A and B are shown apart, each in its own frame.
Chain A
């Protein structure tokens, strides 16, 4: 089992357990260490070098996300040296990144954490580097878009695809400045093992992976309302944030990893299959079949009266048990409660069931 001991974090003695990283201990202590490549769902790789800290006895700065603590270790998360390092590092990232007029990393609608970090250091005005990272122009998948000029090669997406979703549809490919996120043979994601879960978008720290169908201005607008709900497809019960703009659900994301049972993950249906909500085929008014067998629009009063009359007619003629009430495991608990109450209390039959068995 894990041993407990003390370490010094920014001069303060704090408790830690064997196997923990500097990043984990700091997070628990409320000390924020910035990072781009780290995701609690993934094995730490120390790729982005943003989280470097000073470890007493170590000549070089070390990555906090991957550095495992040992008893009495002394850690500094802030110092002039770290600040100098970050200034150069962020500016190097900028020299290989799409910038806006203010010379800040572009915002693509999925959040760009590099942009936030760059705002904390002065601009060194480094000349742009030539980075021939290829994208996939032929990729016609409907959901996931890759913007190579915003990619910092932290490999969160490819590691997510490997370690969490485990389908390995995308990978780092090529060498040096041409390194890019690729599929096998640069095929469309649709034609790979990709299951369109969108976890790569969710984990991407710079918005190099973005949702094709969500509006690109969501972050700038900042004003979208987010409503926490539960997914309506399978029985896992994933938690969702429904993002609403102009009375429409325009994007679905998962709450942060660690917060809910889905740990930040969603599948293709939960994340993307929400077009049905505002689809033109939705039934928008009650309909009653006329004598010719055609459905005619009706008011609610008429429809409720027709329903009640139809059910009561059968009940009077054949008895309550000639009625069947088919409830729905797609509807809410309250609605199922009410459906069985309607069957039992209003119509006197226990003939009520739902698709539990299908």
Chain B
């Protein structure tokens, strides 16, 4: 997020796109509700009539995968009606003309054809957004989990730049991160192309710094991302994987291929707190510690570094994950320092990461609200709002983007569009939340949301057991005939191991990030055989 969560309540307008905030980020949603009650305008763009859409001034219920059209049409309106911030554009950006040219052909009327959103609504949203000062964009995986996810993000950035909504309180460009520490994991360099602090592994001068800090020579080549790892495993090129705290056989797209890959691996090690779908493939399982059993930091969506503190011991012989990793390195011949505690690990991590250099456990202890990076030195108070003095990189380039359809579109065999996501009650692979009574009482098993007309065509009633198939697999679910989804679209949560949504999803990835297309794949739905038989039995009996 360019701006901090605390700023949301003072917004004058919120443009929420591809984020089911009340379910995926409930406490951020509370701030949005507060802003709404104080009179802020709320525009929600989502293929589903999500909870937030019901309290919105405007809901743009676009067809899944047509975001580039919607956002380009908004840019079209802003430029056509001369609502763009010419002074900001001139001072802080480049390549505006390329975008201005590009979006000329994205008229709201043409966009209505593609997105299904009324042209007038697109105009209204664009006018509100461009003419409100404290207008923030909030997005989540509905934007990024597409083969054109990066293009979607570029389109949003274009809107922010052309309206000067950068470096303004309660405005900005705000991706809400999915996991507790997804920001921190990236900051820490758990990515194939960056060392900690987004420093490129292919840059020899950077590599030298890390070679000298770690006392070894390092690979000069970019690694491969998770999506590519899964594919290389299936192709037989990746021969061993070390999986810590992730159930890839639930969470990756097209998991049948992931299972083939794991079976082909010569060695699989899992470091986990529970047995899950992935540990079935493990040669060695190392019992780790959950968050309540160790010290460390999590970095949240607004770049805020906060402490995690040990409250209880890990069960049995389980150990904090950081200790296990050190032992593995030493046993494998690397001279890993003997860190007395996670504090010293953080100190080393922060010393090599320019954005965190001014942070320490002592400072985090003294700042109960956490510290936002960048925090370059010990006297720096942290940076809740980015770009206050103009874009950090100097000038921000606009990116002209062409619409590309999703990789797999519905056809006669698979006529419906499936989008997957999370619910309020469960979390990812749900090994934690399915062990608690409340989430289970609310949501016991897998379900789909389906439009009443689709349900009628398919002869499906609310509560029927159905079979959902894509070209990659078939699973069972309960049908919820729901007013939330569009005609021709269904939605399914990703949480349930016995009916994994990711047996269906498409593993085609975004060209730059490798993020899979979880939000769009073609499926068919029919009443499941067992359910039909059971019903027939009742009818005849």
Contacts and interface: CB of A to CB of B under 8 A. Distances in A.
Interface in B227-276: 227, 229, 232-233, 237-246, 248, 251-252, 266-267, 269, 272-275
A345 B244 contact: no
Given A142-B438, A329-B178, 9 more contacts: A276-B274, A310-B266, A330-B181, A341-B214, A341-B336, A350-B219, A351-B224, A355-B178, A357-B516
Interface of B: 4-6, 24-28, 30, 33-34, 37, 55, 144, 176-193, 195-196, 201, 210, 214-216, 218-219, 221-227, 229, 232-233, 237-246, 248, 251-252, 266-267, 269, 272-275, 282-288, 290-302, 304-313, 315-319, 321-322, 324-329, 331-334, 336, 342, 345-346, 348-349, 368-370, 424-425, 427, 431-433, 435-439, 441-442, 509-510, 513-516, 518
20 contacts: A228-B309, A230-B307, A232-B292, A235-B183, A236-B5, A236-B300, A237-B299, A244-B312, A266-B27, A276-B274, A276-B431, A306-B284, A311-B267, A322-B239, A324-B229, A326-B243, A331-B321, A348-B219, A352-B223, A355-B182
Given A322-B239, A346-B333, A249 B292 contact: yes
B56 to A, nearest CB: 13
A323 B513 contact: no
B424 A195 contact: yes
A36 to B, nearest CB: 23
Contact of B223 (A237, A267, A334, A351): A351
Given A284-B287, A341-B329, A233 B427 contact: yes
Contact of B322 (A311, A334, A354, A357): A334
Contacts of A129: none
A233 B349 contact: no
B242 A311 contact: yes
Contacts of B178: 234-235, 329, 355, 358
Nearest to A266: B27
Nearest to A295: B285
Contacts of B441: 140-142, 190
Given A234-B427, A260-B368, A276-B436, A331 B299 contact: no
Nearest to A284: B316
Interface stretch (A27-35, A72-80, A161-169): A161-169
Given A268-B439, A283-B285, A328-B245, A323 B238 contact: yes
B283 A306 contact: yes
A337 B349 contact: yes
Contact of A328 (B185, B266, B275): B185
A285 B439 contact: no
- Interface on chain A toward B: helix, strand, loop, or mixed SS? mixed
Contacts of A266: 27
A237 B301 contact: yes
A52 interface: no
A329 B34 contact: no
Contact of A261 (B238, B318, B370): B370
Contacts of B267: 310-311, 313-314
Contacts of A330: 179-181, 245-246
Nearest to B55: A166
B318 to A, nearest CB: 6
A328 B291 CA distance: 12
Interface in A326-348: 326-348
Given A142-B437, A233-B427, A247-B312, A261 B181 contact: no
Given A277-B292, A327-B190, A339 B284 contact: no
Contacts, number: 474
Contacts of B193: 350
Contacts of A345: 214-216, 218, 329, 334, 336
B341 to A, nearest CB: 10
A353 B221 CA distance: 15
A110 interface: no
A218 interface: no
A324 B225 contact: no
A349 B224 CA distance: 10
Residue from the set A230, A287, A300 with the largest chain B CB neighbour count within 10 Å: A230
Contacts of B368: 239, 255, 259-260
A92 interface: no
B251 A349 contact: no
B179 A344 contact: no
Contacts of A342: 242, 325, 328-329, 334, 336
Given A276-B436, A350-B201, A353-B191, A358 B515 contact: yes
A19 B150 CA distance: 46
A282 B318 contact: yes
A99 B50 CA distance: 45
A22 to B, nearest CB: 22
B190 A273 contact: no
Contact of A357 (B223, B226, B232, B283): B226
Interface in A139-196: 140-143, 163-166, 190, 195-196
Nearest to B269: A307
Interface string A264-304: 01111110111111110111111111000001000010011
A-B pairs, 10 with minimum CB distance: A284-B316, A237-B300, A332-B296, A350-B223, A328-B245, A235-B177, A346-B334, A142-B437, A267-B26, A310-B267
